[in-house]
Structure 1
């Protein structure tokens, strides 16, 4: 989200590790790192058939792009209209679905050309997006996940994410991995693993130190971007304005 918006969330805190919890907390090992466009305000990340796609934000600068993973080179890009703020992306049956922040507009795009083929409307803000093979799963910056029917594009279920009695707010970019929803938490250096049936937090992935705060170019250069290649079981993460994209392995902490 925009820096100006941060002031409206005074208790969201600065980047750091997971909160006190009884849920398992995992660490990471960097397997490889790759160049990443340091001007990209990363909002969504997905790997489809070994190909990396990225959605970026900011008014007048939002894009959907196909990126060469090894070099970070943008192979193809389409820009959103200047009045649209791009958000999360997900793949769906050969298409790419992209949300917008406050405009209530979803874009369904051709995976090859990146051209918009359809649009749909939704209520409230759009932040992160993923899918479980049956539903589109959407975050809006609160502790709630919305499950949409891909045919009607209507919300069919709402789920509050909780760690015990505490709700986990500011859920942002999402990825569906091995039966769980993984989520960035805005302005935090950890991922939350979520049971999509109950909303219970099943664990945290502490990514503190992956890109130290002292080296980041701005307050908004936060962790944001999860992509899982199911065919190879490779996990990638990056952030807004980060110069690197990392392949990581989850390890006990």
Structure 2
């Protein structure tokens, strides 16, 4: 009950279960039948064919999101979210392909994490923070707003700006991450990202987005880049050519989590801010399942209250200190916290 109240409080916009659509053939009436109207990770899904006209079906083959599956599918090694079931049905001398959409949900209730503030540091109140990340003990920050967007290296203890470049006025800066001595910085709606040398801030290249049309948050696991686009999707990018290899969809046991924003990779999980909320979700990158939630809402009351004050945004993990640093858009403070599962 306490967890349910918490999820309601931070308004993670969980959606009701939707069993999806079934595209029955207008000519033959053939359609795909599933053993349940909704599915969860780990379920066994039984597939069959509705055949109202009693056609002489000789063979049926199934695919789930393009992968061949048996009529009894164990939903283990699969990502969550919207899926397409395809059936190729042979009857008499004819072949017909039919589809059905299905949503797969996570099979656990997210754990609630508490936090403890261990240190508080100054933060530039004019910074509309979009991305935050430590690299070799130094803090890097990307800020937003057109004509105000920046890329910075900051002394996190004093707030001193050690290095800074301004983006062109037409760009709205978004998330950043550092991999192999390169900074990857996103912009919002321009469908373009930038790659810089982490030591000199020299621009090395640019890249265009693929299926994801907007840039919000980005992080990495040491090999792959993970990019959010303001929906429930997180895209996996090849850091060499910046192409989108695949995506995961972020779901709880009840529904999807939209508006994923700033991302941070921490101990094998993705931590994500939710736009316009002051909570963070902890995501399993293999499935997209939400495993934990953190309510940072009380932190907003600890910063200077002013007209431009906006929501929490910015998560940076310090691996040597084993702590998480969080701030917000136009916040005058940077908080160092430790979290613990309740």
The TM-score normalised by the length of structure 2 is 0.67
In the TM superposition, residue 17 of structure 1 has moved relative to its aligned partner by 2.7
Find the counterpart in structure 2 of residue 91 from structure 1: 178
Find the counterpart in structure 2 of residue 10 from structure 1: none
Partners of 2:274 and 2:152 in 1: CA distance: 23
Relative contact order, higher structure (CA 8 A, sep 6+): 1
Find the counterpart in structure 2 of residue 4 from structure 1: none
Find the counterpart in structure 2 of residue 140 from structure 1: 229
Find the counterpart in structure 2 of residue 104 from structure 1: 191
Determine which of 157, 161, 167 is the counterpart of 1:74. Answer: 161
Partners of 2:9 and 2:327 in 1: CA distance: 16
Contact 2:313 2:327 in 1 (8 A): yes
Could you say what secondary structure the match of 1:84 adopts?
A: coil
In the TM superposition, residue 112 of structure 1 has moved relative to its aligned partner by 1.7
Could you say what secondary structure the match of 1:212 adopts?
A: helix
Query: What RMSD, in angstroms, separates the aligned Cα atoms of the two structures?
Result: 1.9
Find the counterpart in structure 2 of residue 194 from structure 1: 283
Partners of 1:121 and 1:240 in 2: CA distance: 26
The TM-score normalised by the length of structure 1 is 0.90
In the TM superposition, residue 206 of structure 1 has moved relative to its aligned partner by 1.3
In the TM superposition, residue 69 of structure 1 has moved relative to its aligned partner by 0.8
Query: Which 10-residue stretch deviates more, 31-40 or 146-155?
Result: 146-155
Find the counterpart in structure 2 of residue 48 from structure 1: 135
Asked if residue 34 in structure 1 is aligned to residue 121 in structure 2, the reply is yes
- Residues 217-228 of structure 1: pairs in structure 2 closer than 5 A: 217-218=306-307, 221-228=310-317
Unaligned runs of 5+ in 1: 1-14
Partners of 2:298 and 2:165 in 1: CA distance: 33
Partners of 1:220 and 1:132 in 2: CA distance: 32
Asked if residue 62 in structure 1 is aligned to residue 177 in structure 2, the reply is no
In the TM superposition, residue 211 of structure 1 has moved relative to its aligned partner by 1.7
Find the counterpart in structure 1 of residue 326 from structure 2: 237
Find the counterpart in structure 2 of residue 17 from structure 1: 10
Contact 1:18 1:204 in 2 (8 A): no
Find the counterpart in structure 2 of residue 166 from structure 1: 255
Partners of 1:22 and 1:96 in 2: CA distance: 35
Contact 1:174 1:182 in 2 (8 A): yes
Q: Deviations over 1:167-195 (max 9, x none)?
A: 00010000000000000001111100000
Structure 1 stretches of 4+ with a deviation exceeding 4 A read: 18-21
Unaligned runs of 5+ in 2: 1-7, 15-107
- Count of residues in correspondence between the two structures: 239
